[in-house]
Structure 1
Amino acid sequence: MIADIILEVVLPVFVLIGIGSWMQRVFKLDLYTLAKINFYCITPAAVFMSMYHSDISGELLGTITLFYALYVFVLYIIGSIIARSMKLSSGMKAAFNNSIMLDNSGNYGMPINALVFKGDPLAASIQALIMSLQSLLTFTYGVISIQGVKLKGNYRSVIIGFLKMPVPYALVLGLLLHALDVPLPTFVSQPLTYAQQSMVAIALLTLGAQIVKYPLQLYRIDVYVSVFLRLLLGPVIGCILVFVLDIKGIPGQALLIASGMPTGVNTSILAEEYDNEPDFAAQTVLISTLFNVITITGLITLAKTL
């Protein structure tokens, strides 16, 4: 089973990431444009179509939301305790917590989900919901935590940033049209389908291009602590919550796998935007993504036994 997972899920993912890294080195791709294509076109289309074709019930929707809220809360508590014990500065504490709470559920998690579950609509819907909740967390807590005193009570930029995100709108609209059983005309559904089908390749090529811009550094202990919490403790928490909340079948498998994603690229983007430990953030993204080739293989193997 492990060999099959490596050959059918993990290797295809990292082949595309590797090609993206190679293309970035050779052609110096326009990462700004690639990110915008992913953020404003490909990902919203994939989320909308996943929700539109979803079999997710209202009860399951609430259970997944509860799972995610408990998951990030536990990570926050543990991260805060460890950051205090390491005597990190306030800026570093924010960067540290972001690195373990904000994972790559979008341009890494959704392709992994699509490959593991062979495009199953329910599994895709669950991952799309997790990604949407992650986006909400990123542009609320993520921004607030690293801006700190810079905000001085002015949350206008946070609200504007959230309102500009297309993914939540795509999520709500997809669920609404699905609930109302509204048929989509071909001139709407076909372009959305094309965009959804391109998501895996474009997202992973973009991820490869993004992470190669950061030089690899292997001497920072704080980076390894973050990666340990993100890749090992995160799945342990996810597994416990799946059993405590009694989530079985595909939903349980999808949530367990989703709990083991590497640190999100948005962590590094926010760190650069607000000049808060950008080097640390970049290293956690890069190293956690590299180590994830091992941990995600084990996690998928475990999830298949549920």
Structure 2
Amino acid sequence: MITLLTLQLTIFLLVAVGFLMKKIHIIGPQGQKNINDLVIYLILPCNILHAFTQSAADGSLMNYLAILFISIGIQVFCVIYGKVMFRREAEGRYKCLQYGTICSNAGFLGNPIAEGIYGAEGLVLASVYLIPQRIMMWSSGLAVFSGTSDKKQTLKKVVTHPCILACVLGIILMVTGLPLPIGIDGAVTAVGNCNTAMSMMVIGMILADINLRDFWDWTVVKYTVHRLVIIPAVVYLVCRMLPLSKTVLGLCVLLAAMPAGATTSILAEKYQVDSPFATKMVIFSTLLSLPTICLWSIFLQ
């Protein structure tokens, strides 16, 4: 509970900093665009690469394989689920909702919660769980926003994106156990560690352009219920039928119960796809995740 409260407070303070910087005109529209591009093309790839190099390659092989295959299944389920549940929404909202269903904030929020509840084993298993999500969010997820009618052009955009290249290199390094060269490793880590602060401040800047009287949105409420309650409930019911350890089952459910990832807003802003709506999704689902994650944690004990 203390870990979760601390993380939530950190998130909202960083959002408030970005909001204030935009409101008092320290950062203008062009500066916001430049920071957004910096996050997408440099900070996020470094963060992804660092995360893969920190993933352990030892421990219980059966638990690793189990959580890996379940995570792949969850990602496939979320892709289909988002398409079906939000198919009647306007195109801009549909893209945000679909991406937000595929990509949660399991990396930033999930890792420390996994470690707090399940110890070092939980942290390592969580890092394995996140491998399919990181790949999916920068392949299928990116295609949601950047897609065109030309499938070949869409594929080219996706496979050449810095975040996809970082995923490929990260997997190679994790599997082979090879470290990044000294110096490069430190630089990648230093830049990647800026991810949370910069991403949340970008969300605050987008939030500064939203009329707060329009912040309440029933579609966002519906999305939040799906993201925080229904999806993890489905994961729980399916996992209960499988011969899984209590740790693997609990982690799968908890990590499936995370709010919308910050990249929902960042990519919506980049590709001009209703970023105010995407920001409301991130802020509202993150706020409501405070009680829901606590309830899921109690239920799974």
TM-score (norm 2): 0.74
Matched ranges for 1:204-283 at <5 A: 204-216=200-212, 217=214, 220-248=217-245, 252-264=249-261, 266-267=263-264, 280-283=277-280
- SS of equivalent to 2:221: helix
8 A contact 1:103–1:261 mirrored in 2: no
The offset of 1:5, in angstroms, is: 3.5
Flag the 1:38–1:110 CA change in 2: closer, same or farther, 3 A.
farther
8 A contact 1:45–1:192 mirrored in 2: yes
1:32 is aligned to 2:33: yes
Match of 2:136 among 133, 147, 152: 133
Matched ranges for 1:42-53 at <5 A: 42-53=43-54
- SS of equivalent to 1:17: helix
1:22 is aligned to 2:25: no
Q: Distance in 1 between the 2:273 and 2:202 partners?
A: 23
Task: Give unpaired runs (5+ residues) of structure 1.
Answer: none
The offset of 1:194, in angstroms, is: 1.8
**Count of residue pairs brought into register by the alignment:** 289
- SS of equivalent to 2:210: coil
8 A contact 2:236–2:253 mirrored in 1: yes
Q: Distance in 1 between the 2:63 and 2:163 partners?
A: 20
Q: Distance in 2 between the 1:48 and 1:90 partners?
A: 35
Match of 1:291 among 288, 292, 299: 288
The offset of 1:104, in angstroms, is: 3.9
Task: Give, as a single letter, the amino acid of the residue that structure 1 aligns with 2:11.
Answer: V
The offset of 1:161, in angstroms, is: 1.9
1:195 is matched with 191
Matched ranges for 1:74-113 at <5 A: 74-75=77-78, 78-79=81-82, 82-83=85-86, 88=88, 91=91, 94-95=94-95, 98=98, 101-105=101-105, 109-113=106-110
Task: Give, as a single letter, the amino acid of the residue that structure 1 aligns with 2:52.
Answer: M
Q: Distance in 1 between the 2:186 and 2:83 partners?
A: 46
Task: Give unpaired runs (5+ residues) of structure 2.
Answer: none
8 A contact 2:43–2:194 mirrored in 1: yes
Deviations 1:88-142 (A, max 9, x none): 367478447516523343xxx4221343337945534543542232222212355
Task: Give, as a single letter, the amino acid of the residue that structure 2 aligns with 1:137.
Answer: S
8 A contact 2:33–2:270 mirrored in 1: no
- SS of equivalent to 2:230: helix
The offset of 1:34, in angstroms, is: 2.2
Flag the 1:246–1:277 CA change in 2: closer, same or farther, 3 A.
farther
Q: Distance in 2 between the 1:17 and 1:93 partners?
A: 22
Q: Distance in 1 between the 2:190 and 2:274 partners?
A: 38
Q: Distance in 1 between the 2:188 and 2:220 partners?
A: 39
8 A contact 2:146–2:154 mirrored in 1: yes
TM-score (norm 1): 0.73
1:181 is matched with 177
8 A contact 2:15–2:201 mirrored in 1: yes
The offset of 1:162, in angstroms, is: 0.4
2:158 is matched with 162
The offset of 1:16, in angstroms, is: 2.4
8 A contact 2:254–2:293 mirrored in 1: yes
Task: Give, as a single letter, the amino acid of the residue that structure 2 aligns with 1:15.
Answer: L
Q: Distance in 2 between the 1:49 and 1:226 partners?
A: 31
Task: Give, as a single letter, the amino acid of the residue that structure 2 aligns with 1:103.
Answer: C
